[in-house]
A and B are shown apart, each in its own frame.
Chain A
Amino acid sequence: MELTKEQIEIVESYLQNRKVEYLDLKVEILDHMILDIEQLMSKNHSFENALKMTTIKWERHFTQRSSFYFGMLYSESKIVVDKAVKEFRSYYFLYLAAYLLPMFFLKNSSIPFQEQEANLINNLLLSVTFLALIYMIYIIIKTQLSKQKSTYRFILKTQYIAVVFLIIPLLLGGFLDHKGQLSSIFMSFMSGGVMVTYICHHFYKKHQAVVGKYKIS
C-alpha cells in the first residue's frame, strides 16, 4: 500500500520538526520511514499507528548531540553528527599536524636569514595568507547564500572560526619576530589557516556535488 501525498507530507513535517534538513540524509531517511510505514500498513495497521511505531524506532537517531571534533557549540541530530565525524576525522588530524609541526620545528631550530631574504619570505607568506583568507571568505559567503543544507555544509560551518588564524598575522604585519626570524606562533597560525582553507575547499566541493545530485526532483 503506497502512502498518499498528504501522508508523505506528514512524515516530512515530522523530520522537519526533528531538524533533519540535510539533503544527503533527509532523502534516505524519508524513503526508509515511508517504506517502514507502508510495510506496517500492509499488515493492517492504520497510517497513524504505523507512523507512531516508525517514529518511536527512529527517535533516538534524532536526539541532539555535539562532538569533540567540532566543539560543543555545534550540536545537531545524532545521525548528522555521526556522519559528519566519519567524513571529518582524518582531516582533523591533518589540521592538528599543520598547526603543531611548524611550532615544534621552529622552536627547536633556528634558520638564520639575511634582512632581504627575511623580507622576501615574509611578503611571500603574507601573499599566501591573504589569498587563503579571500578564498575562505568566498566559501563562507557562497555556502551561507546556498539554500540547501548538507552534512558537508554543517562541517564547513564548524570551520569558519579558523579565519582568525589567517587574519592575525595579516593584522600584525607579518611572520617575523623582533629578531627578524620566523615566528613559530605566526607560522603555526598560517600553516593551520591554510590547511583549514584546503579542508573547507574539499568540503565545499562535496557540498556542491550533493546539491547537484539532488536537483533532479
Chain B
Amino acid sequence: MGNQKLFKGSLQTIILQLLASNEKMYGYEITQKVKELTKGELNITEGALYPALHKLEADGLLDVEVANVGNRLRKYYKLTENGSKETANKVSEMQEFLRTMQQLVNPKFSLE
C-alpha cells in the first residue's frame, strides 16, 4: 500500500495498543491481527515488526514468555508495568497528533 510510510512511525504505538487489548501475542499473530483490523490496508513485514519488538523489549516496555505449542516453542510478548503506562502516553500522543493533522488537512471537519 502507498501509505505504509505513514504507518511506519506509529508501529510501536500499534504494537503496544494491541498488546494492551490482547494480554500476550506472538510475532506472526501481531501481523495477522493488524492485517485483519485494517482490512488488509496495513501489512507489517517481519523486517519492520521484529526490530520494533526488540526495541520495545530493550526499553523494558515488553516482557517475553515462552510456551510449548505442539511440536515447537513459541515466543509471546506482553506488556510490562512500564509498558502499560507508556501505552497510555503513546495512544494519547497519537490521538493528539491525529486531531492536529485533521485540523491541517480538513479544517472544517473536527474529530471532536
Does B54 contact A31, Cβ atoms closer than 8 Å? no
- Residues B47 and A31 in contact, CB atoms below 8 Å apart: no
**Do A5 and B71 contact each other (CB < 8 Å), given the known contacts A28-B50, A61-B47, A213-B64?**
yes
If A82-B54, A86-B58 touch, whether A31 touches B46 (CB-CB below 8 Å) is no
**Cross-chain contact A60 with B47 (CB below 8 angstroms):** yes
Q: Counting CB contacts under 8 A, is B51 at the interface?
A: yes
Chain B window 64-87, contacts with chain A (Cβ cutoff 8 Å), 1 for yes, 0 for no? 111111111111000000000000
Q: Is A32 an interface residue (CB 8 A)?
A: yes
Which residues on the A side are within 8 Å of B66 (C-beta)? 27, 213-214, 216
B55 sits at the interface (CB 8 A): yes
* CB atoms of A61 and B46 under 8 A apart: yes
A60 — which chain B residues lie within 8 A by C-beta?
47
CA–CA, A32 to B50, complex, Å?
11
Asked whether, in the complex, the Cβ of A216 is within 8 Å of the Cβ of B73, the reply is yes
Residues of A within 8 A of B54 (CB): 82-83, 86-87
Other-chain contact of B74, A27, A57, A83 (Cβ < 8 Å): A27
When each residue 31-70 of chain B gets 1 if its CB lies under 8 Å from chain A and 0 otherwise, what string results?
Answer: 0000000000000001100110011001000001111111
Q: For B68, list chain A residues within 8 Å (CB).
A: 216-217
Whether B97 sits at the interface, judged by CB under 8 Å, is no
Q: Which residues of A contact B69 (CB under 8 A)?
A: 31
Q: Which of A8, A31, A216, A217 contacts B26 (CB 8 A)?
A: A31
User: For chains A and B in complex, what number of residue pairs have CB atoms within 8 angstroms?
Assistant: 60
Roughly how many angstroms separate A107 CA and B55 CA in the complex, as a whole number? 38
Interface string of A18-33 (1 = CB under 8 A from B): 0000001001101110
Answer yes or no: B28 CB below 8 A from chain A CBs: yes
Residue from the set B26, B28, B51, B68 with the largest chain A CB neighbour count within 10 Å: B28
Inter-chain CA distance A32–B47, complex, in Å, is 12
Interface residues of A in 196-217 (CB under 8 A from B): 213-214, 216-217
* CB under 8 Å from chain B, chain A span 46-83: 57-58, 60-61, 79, 82-83
Beyond A24-B75, A27-B72: 18 further Cβ-contacts under 8 Å?
A2-B70, A8-B71, A24-B64, A27-B75, A28-B26, A28-B74, A30-B72, A31-B74, A32-B28, A32-B46, A58-B46, A82-B51, A83-B50, A83-B51, A83-B58, A86-B51, A216-B67, A217-B73
**A residues engaging B (CB < 8 A)?**
2, 5, 8, 24, 27-28, 30-32, 34-36, 57-58, 60-61, 79, 82-83, 86-87, 213-214, 216-217
List 24 interface pairs A-B (beta carbons < 8 Å), by A numbering.
A8-B71, A24-B75, A27-B72, A27-B75, A28-B27, A28-B50, A28-B75, A30-B72, A31-B28, A31-B72, A31-B75, A32-B27, A35-B28, A36-B28, A61-B46, A82-B51, A83-B50, A86-B54, A213-B64, A213-B65, A214-B66, A216-B73, A217-B68, A217-B73
